[in-house]
Amino acid sequence: MDHLPIRKVYADNAATTAVSEEVLSAMLPFFKEVYGNPSSLYALGQEAKAPLEEARATVAECLGAKPNEIYFTSCGSESDNWAIKGAARAMRKKQGKDHIITSAFEHHAVLHTCQALEKEGFSVTYLPVHADGVVCVEELEAAITDKTALVTIMYANNEIGTIQPIPEIGEICKKHGVLFHTDAVQAVGNLHIDVKAQNIDMLSLSGHKIHAPKGVGALYLRAGVSIENFMDGGAQERGRRAGTENVAEIVGLATAIRRATDTIDERVARLTPMRDKLIEGVLKIPRSRLNGSQKRRLPGNVSFCFQGVEGESLLLLLDMKGISASSGSACTSGSLDPSHVLLSIGLPHEVAHGSLRISFGDYNTMEDVDYILEVLPQIIERLRNMSPLWDAIQMGKVSYDQYM
């Protein structure tokens, strides 16, 4: 494999993306020229205020919301924390409701937030997930009680790319008068989101997944939803999230989301054949599997498992070949357990350890797919050749074929 020239392939767009030229140039004036505080009355401040409100209107329009329903935050995790904790506490205070429904394979920003609320006395139902990576919606309605304050289900899963039945969940929540929050960090720019039509009360998004910088996110909060303030202080963000606005990055976020949502159809049309070619090629590797439904998935997000191979060593060897990807193995998570997402879809630890996520974005090409398909099988073979587990699998001492 050493004869191959190394190609740089960034295939971890679900982790973060590069800031685009368009976003960067939109932001630049706000660092040195239009640096005023938007809360200041003089011209320099008001010069910053106008683009801030334009950005709010842009984000609102991209989601089918009104400008006064958009709150800028520092990241997707902040939006998740604020929406879930803020709304749950307000519901308990006002209506005595203290039950939350979520799913077993949410992002940690949601799961750990729910666990923190359990310590405050809330009860939480973690809905199971089907083997194809879709939340068991049929169990959602049955889980709703007169104590249910809030349902929080992600729009699309970050680790395996599967798309959740959001409009359906929104309808169920509306019918029962339960608040519905969705973490749409991975969905923005890939799926058509309309918070009104889809009955979404709260939605979290992040800038750096769509070519805006790290450090900016937004929360859509439907007008009329009660929520505790996130940060006390000044009157910024309608008095609910104090702190001088990060004008440059907010403008960057608005520029990015405008581009991302205007080009959804082109993106889907371009990335889907790349994704499908990758899936087809990778599944030729013996004893490999695709995690989650093949069809019901984001256009650029794929997750695989390979028997007899451990994910971290796979990533390190890919990196040596210029390919940046990620894994849900225990060794990459810094804990002893492999990804809760892979376990939630019914995989045993032994299989989940050998996972690989490839996520494509606007800067990837079909040549990247070809390069991955050339390099990956050789790396798998190299690791399997030194793997006592692969040895045992081949000798029939253990079998995981039922999961393939």
Partner 1 sequence: MAYSEKVMDHFANPRNVGEMEDFSGVGEVGNPKCGDIMRMYIKVEGDIITDVSFMTFGCGAAIATSSMATELIKGKPISEALKLTNKAVMEALDGLPPVKVHCSVLAEQAIKAAVSDYYKRQGIDPEPIVGAIPACEECGCEI
- Which residues are at the interface with partner 1 (CB under 8 A)? 308-313, 316-317, 320, 329-331, 334-338, 348-350, 353, 385-391, 398
CB of 319 to partner 1, least distance (A): 10
CB of 312 to partner 1, least distance (A): 4
Cβ-contact 47, 34 below 8 angstroms: yes
Residue in 206, 246, 228 with CA at minimum distance from that of residue 84: 228
Nearer to partner 1 among residue 197 and residue 316 (C-beta): 316
| CB neighbours of residue 1 within 10 Å | 12
Nearer to partner 1 among residue 272 and residue 333 (C-beta): 333
Separation between Cα atoms, residue 250 and residue 55, nearest integer Å: 7
Q: Quote the distance between the C-alpha of residue 223 and its chain's center.
A: 24
Catalytic residue among 75, 114, 136, 331: 331
Nearer to partner 1 among residue 44 and residue 404 (C-beta): 404
Tokens found for residue 251 = 């403008």
CB of 216 to partner 1, least distance (A): 27
| CB neighbours of residue 39 within 10 Å | 14
Separation between Cα atoms, residue 118 and residue 125, nearest integer Å: 10
CB of 313 to partner 1, least distance (A): 5
CA separation, residue 314 to residues 12, 306, 325 (Å): 14, 10, 9
Q: What are phi and psi of 191, to 5 degrees?
A: -135, 150
CA separation, residue 99 to residues 151, 164, 228, 292 (Å): 9, 21, 17, 29
Q: How many degrees, rounded to 5, is the angle at CA 319 between CA 315 and CA 321?
A: 120
CB of 393 to partner 1, least distance (A): 9
CB of 394 to partner 1, least distance (A): 12
Q: Which DSSP symbol is given to 34?
A: S
Contacts for 257 with CB less than 8 Å, ≥ 6 apart: 58, 59, 62, 188, 189, 205, 207, 210, 212
Nearer to partner 1 among residue 149 and residue 343 (C-beta): 343
Helix (H, G, I), strand (E, B) or coil at 279: helix
Nearer to partner 1 among residue 261 and residue 313 (C-beta): 313
Cβ-contact 328, 276 below 8 angstroms: no
CB of 336 to partner 1, least distance (A): 5
Strand partners, 301: 359
Residue in 372, 210, 351, 200 with CA at minimum distance from that of residue 302: 372
CB of 392 to partner 1, least distance (A): 8
Residue in 281, 285, 296, 286 with CA at minimum distance from that of residue 131: 296
CA separation, residue 28 to residues 33, 147, 298 (Å): 8, 48, 32
* Stretch (H or E) spanning 26: helix 21-27
Nearer to partner 1 among residue 20 and residue 355 (C-beta): 355
Nearer to partner 1 among residue 175 and residue 349 (C-beta): 349
Q: How many degrees, rounded to 5, is the angle at CA 341 between CA 349 and CA 391?
A: 25
Nearer to partner 1 among residue 224 and residue 388 (C-beta): 388
Tell me if residue 331 is catalytic. Answer: yes
Return the active site residues.
331
